[in-house]
Amino acid sequence: MGTKYGQLMESERCEIFRLHSAGYLARNWSRDRPRQRDDQPEMRRNALSKSGYAPLSAERIALARRRRKPKSKIERSSQILETVRDQLIAMGRSPEQIAGRLKLEQGKPVISHESIYRFVHGKEGRKEKLHRYLPQAKAKRGGEREEVISH
């Protein structure tokens, strides 16, 4: 089974700080830890510019980064955003049809139908009530599931 990665805990950040302060190299102490990870990126990413790496500020910086959600590909590109809206609203196409049409026009996949569904059901799409233009016009994803009765 491969290595599992997860977020560092505050205690692990304190250990990184303690070992670093004692003069140990990050690559040497990483081998002995249960997570088997390189701590240099952690120290680089979560260090303060003036005072360097401190466990509590590193925890705050990492938490803030996790809370910031990157914009979707649709929201980053005004051209794709306009095309998706036009084809969804004016032409009445489904996300699958929009993704397929963009692929035909560009000669390569531009965006997936899943990304379009995520956009429609996301914050921006809910604000514009774009779900009304979907073939099923559902406000939420998913549907009723059949219950499996076991004997």
28-82 pLDDT per residue, tens: 655 555 555 666 777 888 888 888 888 888 888 888 888 777 678 888 888 999 9
Contact 56, 17 (CB under 8 A): no
Residue spans of the domains in the chain: they are 10-67, 73-133
Where does the pLDDT of residue 148 fall: very low under 50, low under 70, confident under 90, or very high at 90 and above? low
Q: Alpha-carbon torsion 93, 95, 97, 102, what sign?
A: positive
Q: What is the pLDDT of residue 51?
A: 82
Q: What is the pLDDT of residue 5?
A: 61
* Residue, of 143 and 111, whose pLDDT is higher: 111
95-135 pLDDT per residue, tens: 999 999 999 999 988 999 999 999 998 888 889 999 899 98
Long-range CB contacts (< 8 A, 24+ apart) of 63-70? 66/7
Q: What is the pTM of this model?
A: 0.53
Beta bridge partners of 52: 48
Local structure of 92: helix, strand or coil: coil
CA 71 to CA 58: how far, in whole Å? 24
Contact 98, 88 (CB under 8 A): yes
Q: What is the pLDDT of residue 76?
A: 86
* Residue, of 69 and 89, whose pLDDT is higher: 89
Q: What is the pLDDT of residue 142?
A: 62
CA 1 to CA 12: how far, in whole Å? 23
Structure tokens at 143: 């549907």
Q: What is the pLDDT of residue 122?
A: 87
CA 72 to CA 74: how far, in whole Å? 5
7-28 pLDDT per residue, tens: 788 888 888 888 878 877 666 6
